[in-house]
């Protein structure tokens, strides 16, 4: 590790707000990165309830806090308190990273960008191609919105027909109109429809809790849906190799686990705040070596 972190009168604070926050990996990752890079920053967490959000955001701005992360349940409620939003944050209707820039609080969403960057790092190119994704929750929405912005040609999104289904369908139609990407919502219960979608896709993404305990023995795809040229990506990173990825590896498909998304969303946020590149390999080795 680099020099031991020491707080002085020059130290700048980066924060995480949300609830719960105490189990977040972000303080460990960012503080280790700041130390390694010799940056005089400290990353701390604050458990913030929605009813205090407006006062907290105004306080951050008044104190000149250069940046902060936002997690559940504040990613959407924070929108009205920010001065500007990136295109991705606007389309997602959710912010996970805020930077104070020329006196204005600018909201970004680095979750989808982190996922897309990790695909690239793993040699998976989906620009101009078709992607199938299960899960239209926080992670899924961030991913398919960024994928549409980045130039993926067609995205079939599968979700349980829940009480949000129609609202999600409208949000996705708006995304298609704004980006030109042919993105549509489908019912996850329709296995034949899913099979047909995967058959001509370059990538299948799991953005649901399927694959993590207590659903570690479950998998959205059947093995006979796999084909040559299909890559598999999971957002789940604990376990690192989900049932989906293990099946893909046994079948010879390219697989990408969820850890890289976690690392790269942090790295992109750190670049927004400090202009510096987080040493991703070092952080992975430090905290995530199995």
The Cα 232–Cα 62 span in angstroms is 45
The Cα 104–Cα 107 span in angstroms is 10
The Cα 122–Cα 148 span in angstroms is 19
- Residue 280 beta carbon to ligand NAP: minimum distance, rounded to whole angstroms: 13
Q: Which of 75, 129, 130, 243 is catalytic?
A: 75
* Nearest CB to ligand NAP, comparing residues 60 and 237: 237
- Residue 163 beta carbon to ligand NAP: minimum distance, rounded to whole angstroms: 8
162 contacts: CB under 8 Å, gap ≥ 6:
none
Binding mask 109-148 for ligand NAP (x = CB under 6 A): --x-----------------------xxxxxx--------
- Residue 218 beta carbon to ligand NAP: minimum distance, rounded to whole angstroms: 7
* Nearest CB to ligand NAP, comparing residues 33 and 265: 265
Residue selected from 37, 79, 160, 246 as contacting ligand NAP according to rule CB under 6 A: 160
- Rg (the chain; Cα; Å): 19
- Residue 233 beta carbon to ligand NAP: minimum distance, rounded to whole angstroms: 10
β-strand pairing of 130-134 with 203-206? parallel
- Residue 136 beta carbon to ligand NAP: minimum distance, rounded to whole angstroms: 5
Choose the binding region for ligand NAP from 84-92, 223-231, 247-255, 259-267 (rule: CB under 6 A): 259-267
**Strand blocks (E) in 112-254:** 130-134, 154-159, 182-187, 203-206, 231-234
- Residue 119 beta carbon to ligand NAP: minimum distance, rounded to whole angstroms: 12
The Cα 219–Cα 209 span in angstroms is 10
Closest residue by Cα to residue 185 from 226, 137, 217, 123:
137
Question: Is residue 67 a contact point for ligand NAP (CB under 6 A)?
Answer: no
The Cα 111–Cα 114 span in angstroms is 5
Pinpoint the alpha helices (H) of 18-153: 26-37, 53-63, 87-92, 110-121, 138-150
- Residue entry with tokens 């059947």: 222
User: Active site includes 75?
Assistant: yes
Binding mask 164-203 for ligand NAP (x = CB under 6 A): x-----------------------x---------------
* Nearest CB to ligand NAP, comparing residues 235 and 255: 235
The Cα 32–Cα 36 span in angstroms is 6
Residue selected from 235, 242, 253, 274 as contacting ligand NAP according to rule CB under 6 A: 235
Question: Is residue 261 a contact point for ligand NAP (CB under 6 A)?
Answer: yes
Question: Is residue 237 a contact point for ligand NAP (CB under 6 A)?
Answer: yes
**Count of other CB atoms within 10 angstroms of residue 229:** 12
Would you name the residues annotated as active-site residues?
A: 75
Q: What residues make contact with ligand NAP under the rule CB under 6 A?
A: 111, 135-140, 159-160, 162, 164, 188, 207-210, 212, 215, 235-237, 258, 261-262, 265
């Amino acid at each position: 590790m680099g020099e031991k972190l020491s707080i002085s009168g020059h130290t700048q604070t980066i924060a995480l707000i949300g609830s719960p926050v105490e189990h977040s990996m972000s303080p460990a990752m960012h503080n280790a990165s700041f130390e390694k890079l010799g940056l005089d920053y400290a990353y701390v967490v604050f458990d913030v309830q929605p009813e205090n959000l407006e006062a907290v955001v105004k306080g951050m701005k008044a104190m000149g806090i250069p940046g902060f992360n936002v997690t559940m349940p504040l990613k959407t409620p924070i929108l009205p308190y920010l001065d500007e939003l990136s295109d991705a944050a606007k389309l997602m209707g959710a912010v996970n990273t805020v930077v104070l820039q020329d006196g204005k609080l600018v909201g970004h969403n680095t979750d989808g960008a982190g996922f897309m960057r990790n695909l690239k790092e793993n040699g998976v190119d989906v620009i101009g191609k078709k992607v199938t994704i299960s899960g239209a929750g926080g992670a899924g929405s961030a991913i398919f919105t960024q994928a549409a912005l980045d130039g993926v040609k067609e995205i079939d999104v599968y979700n349980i027909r829940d009480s949000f289904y129609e609202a999600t369908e409208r949000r996705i139609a708006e995304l298609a109109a704004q980006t030109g990407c042919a993105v549509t919502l489908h019912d996850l219960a329709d296995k034949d429809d899913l099979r047909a979608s995967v058959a001509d896709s370059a990538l299948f993404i799991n953005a649901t809790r399927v694959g993590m305990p207590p659903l570690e023995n479950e998998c959205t795809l059947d093995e006979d849906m796999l084909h040559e040229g299909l890559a598999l990506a999971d957002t789940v990173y604990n376990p690192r190799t989900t049932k989906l990825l293990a099946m893909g590896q046994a079948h010879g498909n390219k697989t990408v686990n969820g850890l890289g998304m976690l690392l790269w969303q942090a790295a992109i946020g750190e670049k927004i705040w400090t202009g510096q590149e987080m040493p991703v390999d070092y952080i992975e080795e430090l905290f995530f070596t199995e």
